């Protein structure tokens, strides 16, 4: 069964470096490893000290860089053309009829969040085909990569609600639109079939991401106040969406050998924040990485960093497992328990929609499909204990 590892964290903390070192170590351990960049500002080629032209030549598909190691810097435009051709052509032609030039229409046909959608599409494909043993994702800085989390449930929602409905509506509206503006192209049946095929490619991805034996998230952080805060938020959102965080990596710690009084202040600060991080995320294991003497670029440096991080152990191993959520129903009570550390209960919104419980925190919504046994029950109150939000039903 393939393993999927996400590396996330605030901008500049070392996600690309740590994910690259992990991928390189996985490849050396004999796992067929794919390292994929989900950040539009790709830098994997830089971490491996490769010629960028090599990546461009392969149009966003995996490039073999060593034994057992491939890297892929996603090109959204190419991926959409490969996987979504007729829909893409339709949207482009629709935009052209409104007076936009071909190039502008092509650019606009890519909606925000497409990197994430395309990333999921690849992950699901590789997983289903068992194309790799380990798939490692170098994510965009947290603010953006969190968008990733809501993609599966949003797609599911579109499929169930909007798409089914729109299809009928389009059919009804067709004669009307035709008589008003004859030059607007209408989507034909082949477009709908293509949309259906597109959604088909996402089937099952949700379960893959939520299975802690398959997918885990590693949070990269620095021992600085602002970074720690953001890491906690990220941890909360990942948990809320049912993903398991199996390690926290504190990167760029000043080594003990530093004795300069000026730097000593920094060392003390880092020391304090490290302790804070360790106790915050406990029982999730924390790993410390020193600030190396130079930039971590090229295989030699990546080997060194990978060694410091994992020692002799297998980096692909699940380092910590928690239960993201559980359902319980007895004669006396029924509840759903969701692991959501670092959240304040007063910031949580709860709704029920047919077979789903919807949990909202700030801009994020998580849909949880309830078991059959919860049919007819309503959420009545929520309590918060030991990192778990318990939603009680009656
Ligand atoms: N432990 C370390 N010691 C020395 N240099 C490091 C260390 N970790 C990372 N670096 C260097 O810091 C720089 C930024 O690291 P990296 O690109 O991995 O961060 P990132 O989190 O991926 O950034 P972004 O959010 O921009 O994608 C790189 O030049 C990298 O070589
Ligand atoms: Mg990066």
- HSE value, Cβ hemisphere, 13 Å, CA-based, for 274: 17
Sign of CA dihedral 247, 250, 255, 261: negative
- In angstroms, what is the span from residue 14 Cα to ligand 1's centroid? 4
The single residue listed with the structure tokens 């004795």 is: 259
Q: Which fold has domain 325-393?
A: Immunoglobulin-like (2.60.40)
Domain extents in the chain: 1-322, 325-393
The single residue listed with the structure tokens 């192209």 is: 185
- In angstroms, what is the span from residue 263 Cα to ligand 2's centroid? 26
pLDDT computed for residue 267 by the predictor: 94
Beta strands, E only, 139-291: 215-222, 244-253, 286-290
- In angstroms, what is the span from residue 139 Cα to ligand 1's centroid? 13
Tokens of 250: 């504190």
- In angstroms, what is the span from residue 275 Cα to ligand 2's centroid? 26
Point out the ligand nearest to the CA of residue 13: 1
Q: Which fold has domain 1-322?
A: Rossmann fold (3.40.50)
Nearest to 340 by CA among 319, 361, 367: 361
Q: Which parts of the chain register pLDDT below 50?
A: none
pLDDT computed for residue 293 by the predictor: 93
The residue whose CA is least distant from atom 9 of ligand 1 is: 14
Pocket test for ligand 1, best of 19, 115, 296, 303 (most atoms within 8 A of CB): 296
| The ligand 1 atom nearest the CA atom of 293 | 4
Phi, psi of 88 (to 5 degrees): -60, -45
| The ligand 1 atom nearest the CA atom of 295 | 31
Residue 15 near ligand 1, beta carbon < 6 Å:
yes
Residue 22 near ligand 1, beta carbon < 6 Å:
no
Tokens of 350: 């709860």
DSSP code, position 370: P
d(CA 339, CA 162): 30
Nearest to 341 by CA among 380, 393, 381, 283: 283
- Contact between 358 and 351 (Cβ < 8 Å): yes
pLDDT computed for residue 48 by the predictor: 94
> Is 169 exposed, middle or buried, given 0-12, 13-18 or 19+ CB atoms closer than 10 A?
exposed
pLDDT computed for residue 311 by the predictor: 95
pLDDT computed for residue 305 by the predictor: 98
Radius of gyration of the chain (CA): 23
Residue 306 near ligand 1, beta carbon < 6 Å:
no
Close Cβ partners of 132 (under 8 Å, ≥ 6 residues apart): 2, 31, 32, 33, 34, 70, 126
């Amino acid at each position: 069964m393939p393993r999927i590892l996400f590396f996330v964290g605030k901008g500049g903390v070392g996600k690309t470096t740590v994910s690259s070192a992990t991928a390189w170590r996985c490849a050396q351990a004999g796992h067929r490893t794919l390292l994929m960049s989900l950040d539009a500002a790709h830098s994997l080629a830089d971490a491996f000290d490769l010629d960028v032209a090599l990546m461009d030549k392969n149009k966003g598909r995996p490039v073999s860089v060593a034994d057992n190691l491939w890297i892929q810097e996603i090109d959204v435009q190419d991926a959409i053309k490969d996987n979504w051709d007729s829909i893409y052509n339709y949207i482009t032609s629709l935009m052209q009829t409104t007076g936009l030039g071909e190039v502008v229409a092509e650019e606009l046909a890519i909606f925000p969040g497409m990197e994430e959608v395309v990333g999921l599409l690849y992950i699901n494909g590789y997983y289903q085909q068992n194309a790799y043993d380990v798939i490692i994702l170098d994510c965009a800085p947290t603010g953006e990569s969190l968008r990733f989390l809501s993609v599966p449930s949003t797609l599911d929602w579109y499929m169930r609600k909007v798409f089914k409905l729109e299809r009928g509506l389009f059919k009804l509206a067709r004669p009307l639109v035709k008589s008003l503006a004859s030059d607007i192209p209408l989507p034909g049946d082949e477009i709908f079939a293509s949309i259906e095929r597109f959604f088909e490619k996402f089937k099952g991805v949700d379960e893959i991401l939520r299975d802690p034996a398959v997918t885990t998230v590693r949070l990269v952080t620095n021992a600085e106040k602002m970074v720690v805060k953001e890491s906690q938020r990220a941890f909360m959102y990942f948990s809320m969406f049912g993903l398991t965080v199996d390690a926290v990596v504190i990167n760029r710690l000043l080594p003990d050998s530093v004795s300069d009084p000026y730097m000593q202040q920094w060392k003390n600060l880092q020391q304090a924040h490290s302790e804070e991080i360790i106790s915050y995320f406990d029982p999730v294991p924390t790993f410390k990485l020193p600030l190396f003497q130079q930039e971590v670029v090229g295989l030699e440096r990546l080997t060194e960093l990978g060694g410091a991080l994992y020692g002799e152990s297998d980096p692909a191993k699940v380092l910590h497992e928690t239960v993201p959520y559980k359902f319980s129903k007895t004669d006396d009570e029924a509840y759903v328990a969701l692991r959501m550390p670092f959240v304040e209960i007063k910031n949580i919104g709860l709704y029920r929609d047919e077979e789903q419980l919807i949990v909202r925190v700030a801009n994020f919504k998580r849909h949880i499909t309830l078991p059959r046994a919860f049919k007819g029950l309503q959420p009545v109150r929520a309590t918060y204990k030991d990192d778990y939000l318990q939603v009680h039903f009656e």
